[in-house]
Amino acid sequence: MLFPVILILLAAGWRILGAHVPELANFAPLMALCLCGSIYFRGSKRMWAIPFVALILSDLYLDHYYATQFGESGTWPSLAVRAVCFGLAFPCGRLVARYKSWPNLLSGSLAMSLLFYFVTNTDAWMRDPAYLKTAAGWWQAMTIGRPEFPPTLWFFRNTFLSDLAFTGVFAMAMEYAARQSGAPSLFQRKLQEQLTSRA
C-alpha cells in the first residue's frame, strides 16, 4: 500500500509544482501512470486508481490556486473531461499490453498526448468566453491560446515530452526490476507467450 501512496503524492506534487514553476506547466507524470499502470498492473485495480486520486487532489489545489491568483477557477465539467482523457489511457494501455514492444509503448504515449491536447483545448474553447465560437477561435485555442498565458502549443510540447519521458522511465524501471528479480524482460516475456500460444 505504501508504493501507491508514494506515487499519488509524487504525481500530485509534481503537477502542483507546475503551477508555481511555469516552465513545468503540463509536465506531469499522470498520463504515463495511467498508460503504464494498465500495462504493468493489470491484476491490481487499486493501482489503476492512483492517477485519478492524483488528478482529483491536484485539480482541487490548482482550482483554488488559479482562483486566488487570477480570479478564475475551473469547472467540474472540465474536470470530468480531463478524467475521461486519463481514463482512455487504460484501454490504450491494454492494447499496448497485447502487442507489447517499445515502439508500441511510445506510440501509445504519443496517442494519449494528442488526445489530451485536442480534447482539453476543444473543451476550453467551448467553455471559455474569451474564445470566439468560430473556427478561428478554435484555432486560437489550439495554438496561441489566451494572450495572458503561454501558447497552448507550448503546453502541448510539455505534455508530449513528459508523457514520453515518464512512460520511458516507468517502463525501464519495471524492466530493470524484472531483471533484478531474475525474471525475463516483460517485453521478452510477452513475445515468449505469443510464440508459445502459436506452437
pLDDT of residue 119: 95
pLDDT of residue 17: 77
Q: How many CB atoms lie within 10 A of CB 162?
A: 23
Mean pLDDT of 22-48: 75
Taking only Cα atoms into account, the Rg of the chain, rounded to an integer number of angstroms, comes to 18
d(CA 109, CA 32): 7
pLDDT of residue 46: 66
pLDDT of residue 57: 78
pLDDT of residue 76: 66
Query: Of 59, 120, 100, which Cα lies nearest the Cα of 193?
Result: 100
Global pTM exceeds 0.75: yes
pLDDT in tens, 84-118: 888 898 889 888 888 878 888 999 999 999 999 99
